[in-house]
Structure 1
Amino acid sequence: MTVLLLSLAGGLGAASRFLVDSAVTHRQRLSTPMGTFVVNASACLLLGLLTGWTVTRSGYDGVVTVVGVGFLGGYSTFSTASVEAARLLLAGRGVAAVLHPLAMLVVCLAAAAAGLALTG
């Protein structure tokens, strides 16, 4: 049963990623890919909240698996962020190719830490 729920949650996460990424991309005015940035930062915040909430409670392993691994695993995307950085580099935008993923890393770490702190 866990594998089925995990699969369904992963699919819902991927669909949610598509919707959020599309919404951000259609509204942004920047020339850098901000949809993936928003998706990954929000995924880190949510995973931090989930982890912080379950760390002090027992019996929620299934929730962590389905929501954390399934939904948030399908929602977040390291591979797309890497491809976007490579595309910026190949387009001759070396500074953006370095600063964009670096900023994403810093914001994602801060979001995860904030999620943990908010529950602890």
Structure 2
Amino acid sequence: MTAKQTWTLVFLGAAVGAASRVGLGSLWQGAAIPWAYVLINLWGAFALAVLYGGLAGEGGQVLAAKHQQALRLAVGTGFMGGFTTYSSFMLQVFKLPAHLAFSYALGSLVAGLVVAVVGYRLGRTLCWRYAAALVSATVLLVGAMSLPKMSTLLALSTLGAAGVGALGRWKLGDWVNSKIHTPITLGTTIVNLVACTLMGAVSGASASANWPWLAVITTGFLGGLSTFSTASVEGGSLVLAGKTRWALTHQVGMALSCFAALALAYTLTN
């Protein structure tokens, strides 16, 4: 595949994923815990793990390498990365009362690991066609059910920004992983740390102001830049490899560093 094709797949996949996130994120807005984002992040992590499990099993044998790459980029890096969000997750944790914040954060992180492990094993054991159908159903049904309630110009700008954010996540993550070699891949951690720092700064600066295009930055660019699904799948991969302690270190370390960065940036700019 050419560079232009790969960039296009990631951009378009992330734009569709972000549209689905915006639509589903508008549900249950009065709830004490943002259940819509619980659903978004956990279903995205599960579906991404099914995809990777399918490609590691029968799918890796029956699909050509270029088709596997296209699926990973369009559905994995693109759609699931744009659909799930780590920066909004951390901002919600920051703004919730302490007892709810702890329950929401811990529950989401643990559940993310569980669904990633289950999804990967399901992808490996199911017939590839069933695994592909499950992931495709996520893309099509969620996208169709959750059209964002925005003006056309704002919606297109937000989705375009999500695509740009996803491209940044993809390239920055790959660059970090190529430069730093540790038992835990740090690409996703660094990307989420950058996104959460920017989310804290923007949210703090806009807390007392009315920024009509704030969604382009937060929901769009930063939503596409950060990813909950990949973070969970990376942790799940460590669990499946028998490295549970590394998995917990990965999840807890990422969450604490991202939360601290967001809180500090919010405080400094508010």
TM-score (norm. length: structure 1):
0.95
Amino acid of the structure 1 residue aligned with 2:212: D
User: Runs of 5+ in structure 2 lacking a partner?
Assistant: 1-152
- Aligned counterpart, 1:107: 257
Aligned mate of 1:61, from 212, 223, 227:
212
Matched, 1:7 2:159: yes
- Aligned counterpart, 2:53: none
Aligned mate of 1:52, from 186, 204, 207:
204
User: Runs of 5+ in structure 1 lacking a partner?
Assistant: none
Shift of 1:116: 0.4
Off by >3 Å, runs of 4+ in structure 1: none
Q: State how far apart, in whole Å, the 2-side matches of 1:61 and 1:81 are.
A: 31
TM-score (norm. length: structure 2):
0.43
Q: State how far apart, in whole Å, the 2-side matches of 1:18 and 1:88 are.
A: 21
Q: State how far apart, in whole Å, the 1-side matches of 2:263 and 2:159 are.
A: 27
- Aligned counterpart, 1:40: 192
Aligned mate of 1:73, from 223, 245, 256:
223
Matched residues, percent identical?
Answer: 37
Amino acid of the structure 1 residue aligned with 2:263: A
RMSD, matched Cα: 0.8
Shift of 1:115: 1.1
Higher relative contact order (CA 8 A, sep 6+): 1
Amino acid of the structure 2 residue aligned with 1:68: T
Quick check: which has more Rg, 1 or 2? 2
Matched, 1:27 2:179: yes
Q: State how far apart, in whole Å, the 1-side matches of 2:206 and 2:240 are.
A: 42
Q: State how far apart, in whole Å, the 1-side matches of 2:228 and 2:265 are.
A: 19
Shift of 1:61: 3.0
Amino acid of the structure 2 residue aligned with 1:86: G
